[in-house]
Amino acid sequence: MGKVAVGAAVVCAAAVCAAAALVVRHRMRCSGRWARAMAILREFEDKCGTPLGKLRQVADAMTVEMHAGLASEGGSKLKMLLSYVDNLPTGDEKGLFYALDLGGTNFRVIRVVLGGKDDRVVKQEFEEVSIPPHLMIGSSDALFDYIAEALAKFVATEDEGLHPLPGQQRELGFTFSFPVRQTSIASGTLIKWTKGFSIEDTVGEDVVGELTKAMERVGLDMRVAALVNDTIGTLAGGRYYNKDVIAAVILGTGTNAAYVERAQAIPKWNGLLPKSGEMVINMEWGNFRSSHLPLTEFDQALDVESLNPGEQIFEKLISGMYLGEIVRRVLLRMAQEAAFFGDVVPPKLEIPFILRTPHMSAMHHDTSSDLKVVGSKLKDILEISNTSLKMRKAIVELCDIVATRGARLSAAGIMGILKKLGRDTVKDGEKQKSVIALDGGLFEHYTKFRSSMESTLKELLGEEISESIIIEHSNDGSGIGAALLAASHSQYLEVAEA
């Protein structure tokens, strides 16, 4: 072999060695990155842990805070608001009732005809109306006039046989899903607007008074019989169909709970005790916090950067508004520190709230062998393509960690309510049924969240007691529930009973 040939062979061998070394280095780098990404995931999983012992501590803390909030105003992070609802529907209600459900950029007007025990809801009609953006930042009169006009138009479509008796007013249940300081069953002052509304002259005013004046201006003879929030509407709707309903929980974009308390167990209650001996309490449980909650650095960062730092900590761990955002934050860390999606951090992944909980749910529920739903969501929402099956599996696992923590904490919250009411034990062998009415998109559509919450509650209660605790879906409480509360607080009830 000539010198040239030997030289060429040596160069060639060197090139092969260099290429092999590059491949090895690349593999090592990739495996190093993967190990780092998995370390971030495992550490996060560890900090999100919700063993039964921890959940019991959360439930106990919830019970303690409930007692404190009932004892005095401002005594707890739980507001434990008096709803002044002391009569829940029984099923005996009869007649024509209206509801107005205002909770966002749309409102609904609802008409319900109730037929008593045998016929229940004879007829139900509703209409949805969107609010023009300029009215959300205009004047109080302009907004309420617009609502009253829509209500008057809807009333004008009443069937001939439905009109109230001569001399009787129509009655309305008003679901108003903004922070209100309630002062009676049919009055409450607006604390602040949320959800894009900003009408200064309504703040501090009685929202029922504002609506009543607007109805008078458009010539509509109607009385607001009950002012409620959506959680209390859900409780009323649940109780109407099932007398064993004792509490209601909303698990949707936000979260809240309400339950039926003995009036004597409310030290801060100053008025006369209601005839029924009961009072519905709006817990505002989204604001619950405890040192036992499994908070991670991602949750703390989300809270600091939110519109309401330090508030609604429980809600930020369990509600639909935030679950997808927690997943995004962990993925961003994996991308930044472990090049999880390659050398460049995907720009879309840096946009807060771009990954919504319905996207997360779709990925979490992906049963295809190649996890193609996960792949398409990453591509469509975050513009990340070419993900390996291994990466997709890691993302599904991340969704599972976040959803499971939220679901198990929700169950601990419900356990706290059951403990407060003494329904977490069996008394002298008696089997008292306790039904919790649940509503909200997270509960209704995120199947893995729902089943994890239900199985956790069974674990916490134990087999014997869990047989008497039932979770029931109570659909559209905020609509029909308000009409039912108007019926159970009607000014004509005394007349009917006399």
pLDDT of residue 492: 80
Helix (H) or strand (E) holding 227: strand 222-228
- For 202-225, the DSSP string reads GTTSBHHHHHHHHHHHTT--EEEE
Triad 298, 304, 309: Cα angle to 5° = 125
pLDDT of residue 115: 83
Closest residue by Cα to residue 77 from 258, 262, 314: 314
| In the chain, domain spans | 51-80+242-474, 84-228
Highest-confidence range of 13-17, 99-103, 402-406, by mean pLDDT?
402-406
Please report which confidence band the pLDDT of residue 428 belongs to, taking 50, 70 and 90 as the band edges.
low
Q: How many residues does the chain have?
A: 498
pLDDT, tens digit, 9 for 90 and up, residues 133-161: 999 999 999 999 999 999 999 999 988 77
**Strands 434-439, 469-473: pairing kind:** parallel
pLDDT, tens digit, 9 for 90 and up, residues 453-490: 999 999 999 998 999 999 999 876 667 889 999 998 98
pLDDT, tens digit, 9 for 90 and up, residues 368-390: 999 999 999 999 999 999 899 99
Please report which confidence band the pLDDT of residue 178 belongs to, taking 50, 70 and 90 as the band edges.
confident
The reply to whether 195 belongs to the active site is yes
Exposure string (b/e) for 438-471, b if CB count within 10 Å is 16 or more? Answer: bbbebbeebeebbebbbebbeebbeeebeebbeb
pLDDT, tens digit, 9 for 90 and up, residues 219-251: 999 999 999 988 999 999 999 889 999 999 999
- Distance from the first to the final alpha carbon of the chain: 121
The topology under which CATH files domain 84-228 is: Nucleotidyltransferase; domain 5 (3.30.420)
Q: Which residue has the tokens 């138009």?
A: 153
The reply to whether 428 belongs to the active site is no
What CATH architecture does domain 51-80+242-474 belong to? 3-Layer(aba) Sandwich (3.40)
Q: 117, 123, 192, 195: which one is catalytic?
A: 195
Distance CA 247, CA 259 (A): 4
Cβ burial of 241 (10 Å; 0-12, 13-18, 19+) is: middle
Q: Are 405 and 48 in contact (CB under 8 A)?
A: yes
Please give the residue that has the higher pLDDT: either 52 or 117.
52
Q: What are phi and psi of 341, to 5 degrees?
A: -105, 20
Please report which confidence band the pLDDT of residue 446 belongs to, taking 50, 70 and 90 as the band edges.
very high
Give the residue-averaged pLDDT of 13-19: 55
Q: 86, 101, 206, 230: which one is catalytic?
A: 230
Distance CA 57, CA 50 (A): 10
Give the residue-averaged pLDDT of 310-335: 96
Distance CA 222, CA 111 (A): 13
